[in-house]
Amino acid sequence: MSHRYIKIGVTGVVLALAFAALLWSSLRDGTEYYKHVDEVMTSPQAWEGKHLQLHGFVVAGSWVRKPDTLEYQFKVQNKGSVVQASYTGILPDTFKDDAEVVLKGRLSHGGGFEVEPNGVMAKCPSKYEPAKKSASAGM
């Protein structure tokens, strides 16, 4: 084998390793899972500390604001599973009882969900439901 082929082989291996290391380091920190509350709460230990987008519905009457702060505590549920969430910041106008929400954050070791800043997205049901036809519209 000539000296030239050895140089080309070593260069190829170095480039492949550098590309693999770059890909691994960039994807490792950017991984974010989209899960429903019931999927996460079946085995919460498996999801602790991982960055999640958690989908569910606000439990009616569960959300409270600490006096003189922007700190909120509320519960989110889906298919009978419930998780306690904490958030500091301004909630969207569409956040209310039974609202469909997606929370960005991490599941803590105590089982609660810590929502990151600007990590609450609430769906406005009236914008996405089809308009009801009146009885006189078909005549």
Output the pLDDT for position 16: 92
pTM of the entire predicted model? 0.69
Give CA separation, 51 vs 33, 104, 131, in Å.
7, 7, 37
* Residues belonging to the chain: 139
User: What is the residue extent of each domain of the chain?
Assistant: 1-30, 32-128
State yes or no: pLDDT of 136 exceeds 70.
Answer: no
Residues in contact with 35: Cβ distance below 8 Å, sequence separation at least 6, in sequence order = 47, 52, 53, 54, 55
Domain 32-128 has CATH 2.40.50.140: yes
Output the pLDDT for position 56: 96
Output the pLDDT for position 102: 95
State yes or no: pLDDT of 127 exceeds 60.
Answer: no
58 in Cβ contact with 87 (< 8 Å): no
User: Per residue in 59-85, pLDDT tens?
Assistant: 999 989 999 999 999 999 999 999 999
Output the pLDDT for position 37: 95
